Amino acid sequence: MSEANDLPPQTLPLDGWHRARGARMVPFAGYQMPIQYEGIMAEHLWTRENAGLFDVSHMGQLLISGPDVDVELEELLPADVKGLGIDKMRYSLLLNEQGGILDDLMLTRQADGFYMVVNGATKYDDIGHMREHLPDEITLNHLEESALLALQGPKAGEVLARIQPEVARLYFMEAGAFDLDGVPAWVSRSGYTGEDGFEISIAAEHGERIASLLCDQPEVKPIGLGARDSLRLEAGLPLYGHDLDEETTPITADLGFALSKRRREEGGFPGADRILLEREQGPVLKRVGLIVEGRQPVREGAAVVDADGNEVGKVTSGGFSPSLERPIAMAYVPAGSAVPGTRVRLNQRAKIFEAEVTAMPFVPHRYHRKGAAK
Amino acid sequence: MTRYFTKDHEWIDVDGDAATVGITDYAQGQLGDVVFVEVPDAGRQLSQGGDAAVVESVKAASDVYAPVSGTVTEGNAALSDTPDLVNTSPEADGWFFKLTLSNPSELDGLMDEGAYKEFVAGL
């Protein structure tokens, strides 16, 4: 599940808090992280019905500022950074020169620069890459003394509004600075579960108190990494290092939405020639969702095979969906097989599984979108 | 009837040359929510330490090994529809398979309940 670092795992600010609440800790992305508390299935379903609190302090939080910082960031990302309004966020991709994905990330414009959240396992590489490619005048500040908590689920909105009523003004993919019980917090209405919810950045020293305050609310339970993975899989959201890597491009990964219209027209982002050609002509392989027949999960590493048993693709994430009560997976399949309804065969440990390509998300998103009917 | 345990967290109840095999309560706790179990069919020959069954939780797939050699007489059919019996009743209704022992002396290398408890406490 993790990109194993060579160093022994480090502890995060809420380590003791997790252990006191009965978490089983495992190494992930170089840190000791809670994989589960009462059990993945129960935690998953609780989050879909109520609200779950996730500690994602392993992720990299960066502040990027300086002259023409938006123009400079567009050299590295395919997003319309210049057109991003204050307190608005966008999903984007850090691309290498070949258009391969170095990381996926969330970018928010603040009054005096950008707030970026990147994956924990790749954060130091990302910082190195950006430091190498951004001009010296651009300041990159890694918020190593900050915790990041995610409150996710259909009851997240009412829970957080109880603590700070002003957060109710945020819609999906908006953010702002708020006071949470006396603690200055940067709150984003976003997440990785497909549910409504928030990501809350606070100074590490306040992490335990805010986590406890949230978990004292009757709708909230702490949720581990295990359920975070099954929730994001049901939501069709890719996991870097598994469903995305330097060999995959935004088109292959079916993340074309991350290429803003203006950027597609103007180009000028890393790998633009290849990516735009691929967008026009269609990729060789494409990331799709699969519903697997039977009850046995097909997991990362299984092969997608043709009628003769030749490997033509691979499963990059897979597991049992607690909400659908059946196995689901993400896989790269030949573009000709990427249409929903197509039957594909999988080979896992010399056993053949039948599966059907399906549109993602597997479980509908329930974001709090502006202008959307409640 | 005597119950033995292995270091791979299987239990085996032995009555003459007939035995029933499952995984321990400790093992199910480590696995978490079990969503799929594949048990061996009657007639399959198992050798001690070889693959016998597969158990999958939400988190991961694990192999279950044969604690002793023998011939399978029955797989627990209930586990195909209700795999969570392994969580709710690991050491009774959640049994995996029954077999006829081919080499009962292999039991000598297994642990009794006290030794297993001590083994788990040291993990």
Inter-residue contact A72 to A138 (CB < 8 Å): yes
Exposure on the CB side of residue A369, measured as CA atoms within 13 A: 7
B63 within some domain: yes
Pick from A35, A39, A327: which is nearest to B33 by CB? Answer: A39
Distance separating alpha carbons of residues A340 and A290, to the nearest angstrom? 9
B49 within some domain: yes
Contacts of A80 (CB under 8 A, 6+ apart): A74, A90, A260, A261, A262, A263
B77 within some domain: yes
A107-155 pLDDT, tens per residue? 999 999 999 999 999 999 999 999 999 999 999 999 999 999 999 999 9
Residues of chain A with a CB closer than 8 angstroms to some CB in chain B: 35-36, 39-42, 44, 226, 230, 295-297, 299, 319-320, 322, 327
Count of structural domains, chain B: 1
Please name every residue paired with A199 in a beta bridge, in sequence order, or none if there are none: A150, A188
Residue A220 has pLDDT above 70, yes or no: yes
User: Residue A39: its chain B contacts at CB < 8 A?
Assistant: 32-33
**Vertex A100: Cα angle to A357 and A320 (nearest 5):** 35
Inter-residue contact A75 to A261 (CB < 8 Å): no
Distance from CA of B112 to the nearest CA of A (A): 28
Residue A342 tokens read as 């197509």
Phi, psi angle pair for B89, to nearest 5°: -145, 60
Distance from CA of B117 to the nearest CA of A (A): 20
Inter-residue contact A47 to A227 (CB < 8 Å): yes
Phi, psi angle pair for A170, to nearest 5°: -75, 135
B119 within some domain: no
Strands A303-305, A343-348: pairing is: antiparallel
B56 within some domain: yes
Amino acid at A65: S
B116 within some domain: no
B62 within some domain: yes
Residue B30: closest CA among chain A residues belongs to which residue?
A24
The boundaries of the domain holding residue B72 are 2-103
**Looking at this predicted complex, what is its ipTM?**
0.89
A318-348 pLDDT, tens per residue? 999 999 999 999 999 999 999 999 999 999 9
B38-73 pLDDT, tens per residue? 999 999 999 999 999 999 999 889 999 999 999 999
CB contact under 8 A, A295 and B38: no
Closest CA to A76 of A49, A58, A52, A101: A101
Q: With residue A236 as reference, give the H or E element that holds it.
A: none
B89-119 pLDDT, tens per residue? 999 999 999 999 999 999 999 999 999 999 9
Distance separating alpha carbons of residues A45 and A40, to the nearest angstrom? 9
Q: What is the CATH number of the domain that holds B91?
A: 2.40.50.100
B111 within some domain: no
